[in-house]
Amino acid sequence: DAGITQSPRHKVTETGTPVTLRCHQTENHRYMYWYRQDPGHGLRLIHYSYGVKDTDKGEVSDGYSVSRSKTEDFLLTLESATSSQTSVYFCAISAGSSGYQETQYFGPGTRLLVL
């Protein structure tokens, strides 16, 4: 497995509370991604980063923010969790190249339940 860890692996929280998920890589890859996976929707991109402090929105970014202060860490924050954000969250990394996507390597996922 590529050197990607996610923490926590499971979390139960209440509506309205802030939640931060962490993705850590040891591969020194340039690109990092946060996806959510829900039944019937496949994987949907939330945010991605193409370098330290360089981030951009994905398909379903509302209600989420990200930060990348170091190459190895990419944080996903739910400012005020809602029940619709109950999901499985996956982090992925990619070496990336200018102009096209290479293989992405996925972390083990974080199961988030918002009550």
Partner 1 sequence: SQQGEEDPQALSIQEGENATMNCSYKTSINNLQWYRQNSGRGLVHLILIRSNEREKHSGRLRVTLDTSKKSSSLLITASRAADTASYFCATDDNAGNMLTFGGGTRLMVKP
Find the shortest distance in angstroms from Cβ 110 to partner 1.
10
If you search the block for the tokens 């990607």, which residue do you land on?
4
59 lies in the site for partner 1, by CB under 8 A: yes
Instruction: Give the number of residues in contact with partner 1, rule: CB under 8 A.
Output: 29
53 lies in the site for partner 1, by CB under 8 A: no
How many other β-carbons are positioned within 10 Å of the β-carbon of residue 89? 23
User: Do 17 and 35 touch, CB atoms closer than 8 A?
Assistant: no
98 lies in the site for partner 1, by CB under 8 A: yes
Given 5, 11, 77, 105, the residue binding partner 1 (CB under 8 A): 105
Given 23, 33, 55, 68, the residue binding partner 1 (CB under 8 A): 33
Nearest to 33 by CA among 92, 111, 109: 92
Find the shortest distance in angstroms from Cβ 61 to partner 1.
12
Ranges assigned E (strand) in the chain: 4-7, 10-13, 19-25, 31-38, 42-51, 54-57, 64-70, 73-78, 87-94, 105-106, 110-114
User: Do 88 and 10 touch, CB atoms closer than 8 A?
Assistant: no
Find the shortest distance in angstroms from Cβ 108 to partner 1.
5
Q: Which residues bind partner 1 (CB under 8 A)?
A: 31, 33, 35, 40-45, 48, 50, 56, 58-59, 90, 92, 97-109
